[in-house]
Structure 1
Amino acid sequence: MATRILHGVSDVVSYIDSRTGIRGRAGVIWWLALGGLFLDAFSNSALSAGLGPMTRDMELSSTQIAILTSMASWVALAFNPIGGWMADRWGRIPPLLLAKVLALAGAGIAAFAPTFELVVAGRFFVGAAYGIDFAIAMALLAEFTPARFKSRLNTWQGIWYTAVCSNLLLAIMFYNWNVGDAIWRYAVGAAGVVALTLFILQATFMVESPTWLARKERLERAAASMTKIYKEKFEAAPVEDRIPVVNLATKGVRNVALIFRGTYLPRTILASTVQMAQSIQYFAVGWYLPIISIALFGEGDFVLATLGTLVFNVFGIVGGFSSSFIAGKLGLRKASAIGFGAVFLMLVIMGVFFETMPLWLAFIVPSLFILFHSGGPGANGKSLSTLSFRSELRAGANGIIGAIGSLGAALGLMVFPLLREQLGLGTTFLILALVPLTACIICSVIKWEPTKAAVSPDEELDAPQFADDAAERDAELVR
């Protein structure tokens, strides 16, 4: 077997881009990274299906519900950039494993908590795990994905809704066990089982990203990783023959400034807009679908309301797994703009006709809301931030933009129960419709499209790291 010599990051990127699929050990790593996102969705939605029983079980006020449901997102707001910083400093794998430990701890504390305060404490750990994991997993996925398959990063959205539907099916199973209003404890506990399983699998099979290692000028380790992953012999070139990394960002927290300057600024604005807006609309509406379903179909039948929610989220699976194809055809930006426009229309319909909709329309409109969300902006915020920055900035950028998304999630989770109590569901939907409308306009104005870019961000020749003049940065790119 011939030995492949690695002279620099371009050799690593070129080899990965030349792959005709994501197979073998690389495929295992890719799906295990997605498995972490399954856990994030599973943990985040664990309270959703059982929120009604939990409210009765713990006699929660609307304020307590708002605090409890948004806690994980507020914590993720802080831990998104922390996770990104950890991954850019120490690598992708150690923080991913730490996230599983935190998720397991959070599930255990919440499942057995005798008081509201301890449930909140458990959700703190869940939020920390979610914040760390999401920023890093998406960066890892990008670094194992050949350029021709960039849009496949949107697969995470289908995984998200698969996790939500799994939670709903488990809720029906637990309900049939006659566990009463303690059903939410079983759902939260199940998330701990998933966390433990993923910890074992990721610790066993995952390998450090060779792209990150090469960007960090650790070419010997990059060669060892690639040998392990691709079952071919790789070696680092002699030091004198290596291609130096251009403008390597090594200043830790100061790297954050780079994504708000010059070439990267419009990319950051676009990704942040999509991330925050889709988070608000999903967590203010999609996450509360079990409660909305009860309002639509009546409080007397938990199974019917849960099945209604399951139907809504099946459309999320369809849209989520279709989003890769849609993004491949339209691009991430255009798919987001169209998706936001369609979501805006669905929210207006729900707002105006909520109390008068016939049963068949009450099924169709929320289902279409989830379909348009998951097929467009729901997936694209993470993918936009992941594909817009070079490797040593990628996880950190994901962390910052993910924190903006977590802020949107926290606001959505807090705003919905409070607005619903004060104004009713119809008016709440109309107010929330302003979010996708605004995002649609911004996505129509900024034209950056990473899936159509000529070269990977890891191969771009960026201007001086901390230059203040955007024109100077763009001139350097041309040279």
Structure 2
Amino acid sequence: MATSTSVAERVGDDGSPARPSTRSRKYPWIVFALAFGLLLSDYMSRQVLSAIFPLLKAEWSLADSQLASLTSIVALMVGLLTLPLSLLADRWGRVRSLIVMAVLWSVATLLCAVATNYEQMLGARFLVGVGEAAYGSVGIALVLSVFAPRLHATLSGSFMAGGSFGSVLGVALGGAIAVHLGWRWSFAAMAVLGLLLVALFRALVTEDRLAQHAVDEPESAATPQSRRFRAPVSSLFTNPAVLCAYIGGGLQMFTAAILLAWMPSFFNRYYDLAPDKAGVAAAVIILLVGSGMVGCGIVTDRLGRGDITRKWQAAIGFCGISLVCLTIGFSMETSTAQLVLLGIGAFFSAGSSGPTAAMVANLTHSSVRASAMGTLTVANNLLGLALGPFVIGILADHLGLRGALQLAPFVYILAIVALVAGRRLHPLGLRKLAALGAGAPPQAA
């Protein structure tokens, strides 16, 4: 009995050598919890601005397009810098990179607290974007490295949902703090929280411990030679199914990003709620966005157990539900029925995030996974988080906020087209990945 146990401990589920003496079942979840906590801080620092839109608009006489630029500049910098910083993190060290990022965005948030005009605030928000640029991609790559692939859609959806949960906390707490202490203290509180969390992360997460708990690739192509192989950066852009996941994932974030940025103003203007109460109401919507990312990720993993291509179909379905509910909801007058439809639409608005991230992870080589997630983050930010709020801000100056929001859900149609194409190209994507692993030179380091 002792002999069979020792053999089982030395061999993993896929026949690869395991590391029983150093692996702990709890440590991967500790890594997830700390990385998730920093992601909450990331989005609390990013979205606290939305809670004080009405106060800044009144104090500095800002147009909606200027308010939108303060939000979009962060997402724009994330979109522009995520890929190069993710590539750097794959080589420089993911833990070290995450720590530097978190310190930078927290300090930049403090600068927001002392800004005296629009230009200074824009500059501080620029630095927030630089600090946050690659956190999502590097953080999820770090988390996925210590968990089995069967959990990737759930973990990806849950991790990315941290953005929504962080937005909820940032909007709700930021609005309450702003009403009672002033909007500057809203930024200061988020900055202090970020610095405390990064200190805890630094104390508990190290590259050595992550290596001890790393989960080997399950694919048959994951030979000892291929595990040492570093895939070329070009492989991030030559797999057609992965390209569809990038585009579909980015476009499905367009409307979700609008909900994150503009719902406090929506409730302030059309439901006549004060900034703190509007922030709480918007926090409920944003909480539904995050809950949907987690729930849809879990559903996707269950649907994909027998056939992984069903994850594409799940993503398509989530986009379709949100398209219908939000289109009808924003076209209605203020009422309970409107809130119900907006809530359902919000729940599914970013539900495709987990499936698309899982597809990217499953169709790219592990040696460039942070870079692959970085590319997905670029798409999410340039096509969604940056573009969505800014476009709505410009349209709101001409059509009013309600009229602009009524047009937002139609972007889901483009997302659905991209996801359908990805589903059809999935077999080709698998062949591309297998050929990449098979071509790994034995001497590659």
> TM-score range with shorter-chain normalisation?
0.7 to 0.9
The gaps in structure 1 that reach 5 residues or longer are: 212-221, 231-241, 467-479
Structure 1: distance between partners of 2:292 and 2:137: 22
Shift of 1:320: 3.0
Relative to structure 1, the CA distance from residue 46 to residue 392 in structure 2 (aligned partners, 3 Å threshold; closer, same or farther) is: same
1:64-463 aligned within 5 A? 64-153=66-155, 154-175=157-178, 177=180, 179=181, 182-183=182-183, 185-208=184-207, 222=211, 225-226=212-213, 243-245=224-226, 248-249=229-230, 255-261=232-238, 264-267=239-242, 269-298=243-272, 301-331=274-304, 332-353=311-332, 357-374=333-350, 376-408=351-383, 409-447=385-423, 462-463=437-438
Say which SS state the counterpart of residue 373 (structure 2) adopts: helix
Q: Which moved more, 1:192-201 or 1:202-211?
A: 202-211
Relative to structure 1, the CA distance from residue 304 to residue 361 in structure 2 (aligned partners, 3 Å threshold; closer, same or farther) is: farther
Structure 1: distance between partners of 2:409 and 2:121: 32
Tell me the percent identity: 19
Shift of 1:338: 0.9
- What is the TM-score with the length of structure 1 in the denominator? 0.78
Structure 1: distance between partners of 2:66 and 2:405: 22
Structure 2: distance between partners of 1:388 and 1:40: 28
Structure 2: distance between partners of 1:157 and 1:133: 11
Structure 2: distance between partners of 1:270 and 1:83: 22
Relative to structure 1, the CA distance from residue 110 to residue 92 in structure 2 (aligned partners, 3 Å threshold; closer, same or farther) is: same
Amino acid at match of 1:93: V
Relative to structure 1, the CA distance from residue 303 to residue 194 in structure 2 (aligned partners, 3 Å threshold; closer, same or farther) is: closer
Q: 1:155-191: per-residue Cα shift (whole Å, max 9, x none)? A: 12443332222223313532552x3xx42x2222222
Relative to structure 1, the CA distance from residue 387 to residue 436 in structure 2 (aligned partners, 3 Å threshold; closer, same or farther) is: same
Q: 1:16-73: per-residue Cα shift (whole Å, max 9, x none)? A: 9xx9xx8322221121122222122212211011111122122212332232111101
Relative to structure 1, the CA distance from residue 386 to residue 34 in structure 2 (aligned partners, 3 Å threshold; closer, same or farther) is: farther
Shift of 1:460: 7.7
Structure 2: distance between partners of 1:257 and 1:461: 11
Structure 2: distance between partners of 1:351 and 1:275: 23
Equivalent in the alignment of 2:220: none
Q: 1:448-470: per-residue Cα shift (whole Å, max 9, x none)? A: 799xx999x7x88635479xxxx
Relative to structure 1, the CA distance from residue 138 to residue 199 in structure 2 (aligned partners, 3 Å threshold; closer, same or farther) is: same
Structure 1: distance between partners of 2:374 and 2:30: 24
Could you tell me whether the CA contact under 8 Å between 2:82 and 2:133 is conserved in 1? yes
Relative to structure 1, the CA distance from residue 244 to residue 358 in structure 2 (aligned partners, 3 Å threshold; closer, same or farther) is: closer
Consecutive aligned runs of 4 or more in structure 1 exceeding 6 Å deviation: 1-7
- What is the TM-score with the length of structure 2 in the denominator? 0.83
Shift of 1:288: 0.9
Relative to structure 1, the CA distance from residue 39 to residue 383 in structure 2 (aligned partners, 3 Å threshold; closer, same or farther) is: farther
Could you tell me whether the CA contact under 8 Å between 1:138 and 1:386 is conserved in 2? no
Say which SS state the counterpart of residue 364 (structure 2) adopts: coil
Relative to structure 1, the CA distance from residue 191 to residue 26 in structure 2 (aligned partners, 3 Å threshold; closer, same or farther) is: same
Shift of 1:6: 9.9
Say which SS state the counterpart of residue 116 (structure 2) adopts: coil
Q: 1:336-378: per-residue Cα shift (whole Å, max 9, x none)? A: 111111121123213432xxx242123212212211114x224
Relative to structure 1, the CA distance from residue 64 to residue 427 in structure 2 (aligned partners, 3 Å threshold; closer, same or farther) is: closer
Could you tell me whether the CA contact under 8 Å between 1:297 and 1:304 is conserved in 2? no
Structure 2: distance between partners of 1:303 and 1:426: 21
Amino acid at match of 1:316: V
Say which SS state the counterpart of residue 319 (structure 1) adopts: helix
The gaps in structure 2 that reach 5 residues or longer are: 216-222, 305-310
Say which SS state the counterpart of residue 114 (structure 1) adopts: coil
Say which SS state the counterpart of residue 113 (structure 1) adopts: coil
Relative to structure 1, the CA distance from residue 107 to residue 246 in structure 2 (aligned partners, 3 Å threshold; closer, same or farther) is: closer
Structure 2: distance between partners of 1:248 and 1:94: 23
Q: 1:259-300: per-residue Cα shift (whole Å, max 9, x none)? A: 222xx2212x2321232112211222332110111233025x
Amino acid at match of 2:237: F
Equivalent in the alignment of 2:42: 40
Could you tell me whether the CA contact under 8 Å between 2:36 and 2:159 is conserved in 1? yes
Equivalent in the alignment of 1:218: none
